[in-house]
Amino acid sequence: MDSKIPSTVLLYGNGGHAKVVREAVGRLDMVMLHYFDDSEKDHAYDPAYFPDIGLHVAIGDNYLRGNIAYFVQHSLLTIVHPQANVSTSVYIGEGSFVNVRAVLMPDVSCEKCCIFNTAVIIEHDCVLGEYVHIAPGCILCGNVHVGDYTLIGAGTVVNPNIRIGKNVIIGSGRWLSGSGCAGAGNSFIRLI
């Protein structure tokens, strides 16, 4: 993980998740130069606006975040709250967000634009695909694998060695135990 923190950032998004990201940006003593939000005429995305400044897609919805990250021309910036606890052996993909009190233990790996929300615990050797959202208070025990675009709802506990497929939504407060997987391959399931 790169310890150099840029001094400025652009945000894409202005909703609830963006408020949380802005708080982390302030705690890092970074300056948010501008935000983009296509629903606001004066804030529509413009690739020519500060082209050399990193951009963070501050949108909680996995699919919308993925679509936006795909077409933006700015480099994607990862934001790690200063009160997160991240092991030195963790790999965090570009454009990801690690919130306050999140704990990422040794050899955790995630691809681009993942969200580790407030007070999550991600134990050793967990592997997350692209555009994954781990909601507040979740615990992923060791060696859990999570597929692309998956949402794990608030307070969910996933026991060791579980495989969760792509495009899965797991509702809040669930407990995934035993061996096996939820949503193998490219399936879309809801455990709510």
pLDDT of residue 186: 44
Indicate whether 64 belongs to any domain.
yes
User: Does residue 28 lie within any of the structural domains?
Assistant: yes
The tens-digit pLDDT sequence of the chain (192 residues) is 455 678 999 999 999 999 999 999 999 999 999 999 988 888 889 898 888 899 999 999 999 999 999 999 999 999 999 999 999 999 999 999 999 999 999 999 999 999 999 999 999 999 999 999 999 999 999 999 999 999 999 999 999 999 999 999 999 999 998 655 555 444 444 554
- Given a contact cutoff of 8 angstroms between Cβ atoms, the answer to whether 192 and 173 are in contact is no
User: Is 15 domain-assigned?
Assistant: yes
Q: Which pTM value belongs to this model?
A: 0.91
pLDDT given for residue 38 in this prediction:
83
Does residue 101 form part of some domain?
A: no
The answer as to whether 18 is a domain residue is yes
**Number of domains forming the structure of the chain:** 1
Count CB-CB contacts under 10 A for residue 51: 12
Enclosing domain of residue 66: 8-71
Q: Is residue 86 part of a domain?
A: no
3-class SS of residue 11: strand
What is the residue whose two structure tokens read 């003593």? 29
| Residue 148 within a domain | no
Q: Flag whether 91 is in a domain.
A: no
- CATH number for the domain that contains residue 28: 3.40.50.20
